[in-house]
Chain A
Amino acid sequence: MHNALSLYLNAKDFRLIIRVHLFFVSHLMSIFALRKPDVTSRVVQTMAKFTGVQFQIIKCILLIILAFGLSFNANSANEDPETKAEELVVGDLIFEHVLDAHDWHILTWNGHHISIPLPVILYHPEKGLDIFLSSEFHHGHTSYRGYKLVDGKIISEDGSKYYDFSITKTVFAIIISIVLLCLIFISAARAYGKNKGQAPKGIQSVIEPLVIFVRDDIAKPSIGEDYVRYMPFLLTVFFFIWLNNMLGLIPIFPGGANVTGNIAVTMVLAIFTFVITTINTNKGYWVHIFNTPGVPWWLKFPVPLMPIIEIFGVFSKPFVLMLRLFANITAGHMIILVFVSMIFIFGSINVWAGYGTSVVSMLFSAALSLLEILVAFLQAYVFTLLSAIYFGMAKVEDHH
């Protein structure tokens, strides 16, 4: 038993262990949640109280712990450079999980990486377009067509500028989620055609309360009469974010990619909201920005303080939208990984400490996984709600 654990702790591939742990944790959690819905709902309610400021503080504390973990490992790596490959560098590990990649790593078995190679598409202004599989790099061991892979990033060997349009892990996960979304909702839409006017059946019953939730609790109160034209975007955004958040919590392929915790993804979503808001503005909206009613004139002239603040607000809204989703999801992923990694941090000091920590870590990461399920829904809801509110604000009534 002792030997098994030390072997287990010294294994080169911690990622697999983490995934297996998370897999079992999430399965146990879901089984528990299904068997004891009343207990689960109470736990979720208790946790929901922490989602505000308190939760942010908890996250900060945990990130500080993570930072200590990083420095600890950095020190030990410096002390003994020969064993560096053997050491677990928690920071690298976590960032590797949170960041994008050019291949989809599934597991490492006896030092062999088993991963899905993804297509690399590079555009070089001089050399033109290069399309090849990421397996050509052999995990960074070889360079290919003047490019090489360093720490998961492609760089050109001569340092010249190029553009990377690769189908990365995140892009691949987006495609998977899109296929899933289309399958789920088109089949549901078929059901609406098939049993017209009847009670919902099968997949209809699953999505209908959510669609009605988005329509009646998000769109209608925030936008008002004109909500119908925004519904496709709001529904798509809601289900896209939620599905990707949930897929991100599943530790094994095809889940586990950090799609909604990627700043480029949340940026595009926020830009969509921004563009739709700006297209659908009316005169009152611009009047509100440049000549805010109900504000003393000296705040607008000669120094246009209010217009500057208002214009800043126009851009800060989508910016905050982008950051909120990105930070929440990334932090959630990181914290769960930190808890699991703690077993190995303590295990590398002392095997028995690893045993002891594993119990606490598993409990914590289980609880946090449950919380992340809540956060997955909450963030999708918040993004959709705020988008809807911005759409509603773009149409300013003249009555004030």
Chain B
Amino acid sequence: MELVTPDIGLIFWMTVSFTIVLAILKKFAWKPILQGLKDREDSIKESLSSAEKAREEMAKLKSDNEQLLADARLERDKIIKEALATASNIKEDAKTEASKISGKMIEDARTAISSEKQEAVAEIKRQVASLSLEIAEKLLRKNLSDSKDQRALVDQFINEVKVN
């Protein structure tokens, strides 16, 4: 029976000592321990979330970079293509220009030649005329009253010159 009879003295001391230990531990142990735990958990949570954020940012940056790189590559291709086109245009232009110039030059040359030729022919004609005149003169001088054959011969000469 003594086993299950609470003793008044023990109740008293237990109440007093438990109240004291509760008060002491509450103030000097549980408060700092729980606060420390909470602080640490908060800081861990915070650093985890910030790490996550940094990771996301990094991924975003990476995708941005990739986009940029792709854009640059596209731009480069475009530029190269354009440059190639321009170059071929220039080449084409140069070719046409060159052929035009050369054509013109040939034409000029031809014109010049033909005019030269004309001149030369005229000159020859003049020469021939003068020569003919000279010849005629000579002939006239020598055989002014000569036979008709001679005269025919002169005519023939002149005609031949004209044909040329």
Contact = CB atoms under 8 A, between A and B. Distances in A.
Interface in A235-263: 235-236, 240, 262-263
B22 A330 contact: no
Contact of B40 (A171, A181, A197, A267): A197
A100 B33 CA distance: 35
Contacts of B35: 192
Q: Which of B11, B14, B20 has the most CB of A within 10 A?
A: B14
Interface residues of B, number: 35
A196 interface: yes
B146 interface: no
B152 interface: no
A263 B6 contact: yes
B34 interface: yes
Contacts of B22: 232-233, 236
Interface in B1-50: 2-15, 17-18, 20-22, 24-26, 28-37, 39-40, 43
Contacts of A207: 33
A326 B4 CA distance: 9
B26 A268 contact: no
B136 to A, nearest CB: 134
A192 B33 contact: yes
Given A192-B36, A197-B40, A182 B10 contact: no
Given A181-B25, A232-B30, A236-B26, A264 B14 contact: yes
A272 B18 contact: yes
A182 B11 contact: no
Contacts of B2: 95, 99, 153
Given A192-B36, A197-B39, A231 B12 contact: no
A272 to B, nearest CB: 7
A240 B18 contact: yes
Contacts, number: 128
The prevalent SS among residues of A at the interface is: helix
Nearest to A200: B40
B12 A178 contact: no
Nearest to A259: B14
Contacts of B40: 196-198
The prevalent SS among residues of B at the interface is: helix
Nearest to A268: B14
Nearest to A178: B21
A98 B17 CA distance: 21
Contacts of B15: 268, 271
Contacts of B39: 196-197
A357 interface: no
A379 interface: no
A178 B13 contact: no
A165 B8 CA distance: 7
A170 interface: yes
Contact of B14 (A153, A232, A265, A326): A265
Nearest to B44: A197
A217 interface: no
Categorize the interface residue count of chain A: 35 or more
Q: Which of A208, A228, A236 has the most CB of B within 10 A?
A: A236
A263 B5 contact: yes
A196 B36 contact: yes
B17 A178 contact: yes
Contact of A167 (B3, B13, B32): B13
Interface string A160-178: 0001111110110011001
Given A193-B36, A211-B37, A174 B29 contact: no
Contact of B8 (A164, A240, A326): A164
B30 A193 contact: no
Closest CB pairs A-B (n = 8): A192-B36, A185-B29, A264-B10, A264-B6, A232-B26, A189-B32, A268-B14, A165-B9
Interface of B: 2-15, 17-18, 20-22, 24-26, 28-37, 39-40, 43
27 contacts: A100-B7, A153-B2, A163-B8, A163-B9, A165-B8, A167-B13, A171-B13, A174-B14, A174-B17, A182-B24, A185-B30, A189-B28, A192-B32, A197-B40, A198-B40, A211-B33, A215-B34, A232-B30, A235-B30, A236-B25, A240-B18, A262-B10, A263-B3, A263-B6, A268-B15, A269-B18, A330-B3
Given A168-B9, A192-B33, A197-B43, 20 more contacts: A99-B3, A164-B9, A165-B13, A171-B14, A175-B17, A185-B33, A189-B29, A189-B30, A189-B31, A196-B39, A197-B40, A235-B30, A236-B22, A236-B25, A240-B18, A240-B21, A263-B5, A265-B10, A267-B6, A272-B18
